[in-house]
Amino acid sequence: MTPMHNQDHFVIDEGLWNENTGYLFVIADGIKTLHNDCHIAQLGAEAVYTKYYADISDNRIMALQKAFEYANQEVCETCPNLGTTCTAALFHNETLHVANVGNSRAYRLRDHYLTQITQDHSLAAAFIKLGHVTEDDLRTYPHSSYKLTRWLGSPSAVEVDIFSESLEPKDSILLCTKGVSGWLHEEDNEIAQVLGSHPTEKAAQALMKLVEDAGSASDATAIVIAYQS
């Protein structure tokens, strides 16, 4: 089943990439709404991208933080009472910086082992942390994982998680919306198998095929990036 309105969006603009600012990838998933004329994920993702590259300061982590804060304000002012998740991966000086609000995720594949970099901002993630539910529970009731605790479009100041780690040659980074991670479970090794057995340029398409075969009715978007030093 294919959704009538895909509310995901991603931004990859190689024309803005340079050695000083790094290489940024952004993915977003609009919170489901009847107001489909407001492309909330596109607004949020492109606001992050535009603001980040407009900032030429030396502190690139702070530039990324400010880009999310700016995007939050843009979403609030342009589409009040709506929201979107957003996850961004910045490759800068052999280091990966991942910024995250919501439940779109970033993973790293290294030596065939998959690691989730981000932490979901959802009620389900909070309940799992407290031991109230398990990942298996969410497979049975996947809708329970969609209630967010953070998103772009919050009228209060947005709290952004930023994770930084060194990269190694042949690392692969996956950015994906909940339509992918909610149906393909890293503990089953499905994602790792796909990323490890397909060329980078075909891995995202292979993930989409698995999601379709799994019967997902949600929007699903993935970006796969291979790191080469």
Q: How many Å apart are CA 73 and CA 159, to the nearest integer?
A: 13
Q: How many Å apart are CA 116 and CA 102, to the nearest integer?
A: 14
pLDDT for res 70: 98
pLDDT in tens, 4-31: 456 899 999 999 999 999 999 999 999 8
Model confidence band, residue 3 (pLDDT cutoffs 50, 70, 90): very low
pLDDT at residue 101 above 90? yes
Average pLDDT, the chain: 87
Cβ atoms of 86 and 27 closer than 8 Å: yes
pLDDT in tens, 173-202: 999 998 898 877 776 688 999 999 999 999
Q: Is 100 exposed, middle or buried (0-12, 13-18, 19+ CB in 10 A)?
A: buried
**Percentage of the chain with pLDDT > 70?**
82
pLDDT for res 81: 86
pLDDT at residue 50 above 80? yes
Structure tokens at 9: 């969006």
Model confidence band, residue 80 (pLDDT cutoffs 50, 70, 90): confident
Q: How many Å apart are CA 158 and CA 71, to the nearest integer?
A: 10
Q: How many Å apart are CA 189 and CA 88, to the nearest integer?
A: 23
Q: How many Å apart are CA 126 and CA 193, to the nearest integer?
A: 28
Q: How many Å apart are CA 103 and CA 145, to the nearest integer?
A: 9
- Entry pTM: 0.88
Structure tokens at 191: 């994602």
pLDDT for res 219: 84
The helix or strand, by DSSP H or E, that contains position 214, with its residue range, turns out to be: none
pLDDT in tens, 133-166: 666 665 555 555 568 889 999 888 899 999 999 9
H helix runs in 131-228, sequence order: 135-140, 178-181, 190-197, 200-213
All domains in the chain, ordered by first residue: 8-226 (3.60.40.10)
Cα 49 to Cα 26, 55, 191, 212, distances in angstroms: 7, 10, 27, 29
pLDDT for res 212: 86
The helix or strand, by DSSP H or E, that contains position 90, with its residue range, turns out to be: strand 84-92
pLDDT at residue 228 above 90? no
